[in-house]
Amino acid sequence: MIITTASFKGGVAKTTTAIHLAAYLQTKGQTLLIDGDNNRSATRWAERSLERGGLPFKVVGVNQSAKYSKGCEHFVIDTEASAEEEELREIIDGCDLLILPTTPDTMSLDALIQTVELLRALGIDKYRVLLTRVPPPPRREGEEAREFLTEAGFPLFKGKIREAVAFQKAANEGVLVHQVSDRRARNAWNEYSAIGKEVFGE
C-alpha cells in the first residue's frame, strides 16, 4: 500500500497524518515514510524521536527511498503544499491512495475544492478527504464542513481528527501522539487508528 498526503494549502496536518498513518501501517507490515517536503518536517520529527527510542518506522528523503524501500510492504509519502498540476499528476501516479487532509475553515476548504476539481478533471478517483483539527463542541465547523463536502459528493473518511494539543506536543517531543502525557492523547491516537482501519476496509 502506498499512501500519499497532499494539499494545495499548508498547515492542514499532512505531516501529522503521514506520521500517524505510518505508525498504523507499521502494525500491519514493514513501513517506510518518505519525506517529500523540502522543509523536512517528518525527518526532523524522526530526528527528535531518537532521544526517546525512535519512531517504529524509518523516515527517509526521496533521494534515499530506492535504497530503503527494499523489504518494505507499505509506504507513506508526505509532500509539501503545492498547487501545481504537474506535481499533482506525479503524486497521483505514485500512490495507491491520495489523502487530502483539510481543516474545516473556509481557506482550507476553498483550496480543497480546487484540488478536487483538478482531480475530477484528470478523471482520478483514488483520493479521500480527511477532516483534521476539528474544533470541539459546541463549535460546529466540523459537522458543517462534512455536510457541505458530502453534498458536493466528495469522498470523505467517516472518521475525523479533532483539534488536540497532544499533536503539537508529539511533534515537539518527536513521539507518536499516544506517547504524550496528555489526557486526550489516547483518544487522539484512536482517531488516526480508525482512519487506518478505514484505509484497509476493516
Binding site residues, ligand ATP, CB under 6 A: 7, 10-16, 37, 41, 80-81, 132-133, 161, 163-164, 167-168, 171
Residue with cell 501529522: 16
Q: Is the dihedral of CA 56, 74, 80, 201 positive or negative?
A: negative
Tell me which DSSP letter residue 134 carries.
B
Which residues, numbered 74-103, are part of the site for Mg ion (CB under 5 A)?
none
Nearer to ligand ATP (CB atom), residue 30 or residue 119: 119
The answer to the question of residue 14 lying near Mg ion (CB under 5 A) is yes
The answer to the question of residue 41 lying near Mg ion (CB under 5 A) is yes
Minimum distance from CB of 91 to ligand ATP (Å)? 14
Evaluate whether 52 touches 97 at the Cβ level (below 8 Å). Answer: no
Nearer to Mg ion (CB atom), residue 25 or residue 77: 77
Minimum distance from CB of 20 to ligand ATP (Å)? 9
Minimum distance from CB of 81 to ligand ATP (Å)? 4
Buried b (16+ CB within 10 A) or exposed e, 161-184: bbbbebbebbbebbbbbbbbebeb
How far apart, in whole angstroms, are the C-alpha atoms of residue 16 and residue 86? 25
Residue with cell 479521500: 128
- Convert residues 130-169 into a mask of x (bound to Mg ion by CB under 5 A) and - (unbound): ----------------------------------------
